[in-house]
Homo-oligomer: A and B are copies of this chain.
């Protein structure tokens, strides 16, 4: 970034500097899903076409972008801003769990898709949320583990391979 700035015109650098500051001043969080938002509700929460009965719970806004890129998912999101990690001293109170439970009170949501990362922290978070949400009579589901599309079984790690076989579906 430092060397690129040297190659830029002064006007461009000023514009860039203002844009950088604007990131911190103009970008806030959506009061519903806690995703980043330029003031007020985010575009997903605002969209009347989205299915309000499904909430896809993710760790951060990067994951929202990943699921949106994949297309196909038409529900809402909830951004936790992290995952439970005793090692890093991050507990449920450090995440937006309270905000999620508040959203589930409305009675409109019938399924919570737990799309935290398939890491130790992400799995722990998914399990924790499932135990919290299931008693409310709301379906909780977890995204599938398996062989990535286009991949080769030979280069698939053991745990993923085992999950791919366990998670096999009927044709």
Report if A154-B63 is in contact (Cβ < 8 Å); known contacts: A141-B168, A143-B164. yes
Residues of B within 8 A of A65 (CB): 154
Does A25 lie at the interface of the complex (its beta carbon under 8 Å from any beta carbon of B)? Answer: no
Does A150 lie at the interface of the complex (its beta carbon under 8 Å from any beta carbon of B)? Answer: yes
Q: Are B158 and A71 in contact (CB under 8 A)?
A: yes
Q: What residue of chain B has the Cβ atom nearest to residue A155's Cβ?
A: B66
Q: Are B153 and A117 in contact (CB under 8 A)?
A: yes
SS of A interface (majority): mixed
Among A144, A160, A162, A166, residue most surrounded by chain B Cβ atoms (within 10 Å)? A144
Q: What residue of chain B has the Cβ atom nearest to residue A58's Cβ?
A: B153
Q: Are B153 and A169 in contact (CB under 8 A)?
A: no
How far, in whole Å, are A143 and B168 apart by their CA atoms in the complex? 4
Q: Are A156 and B66 in contact (CB under 8 A)?
A: yes
Among A62, A119, A130, A153, residue most surrounded by chain B Cβ atoms (within 10 Å)? A153
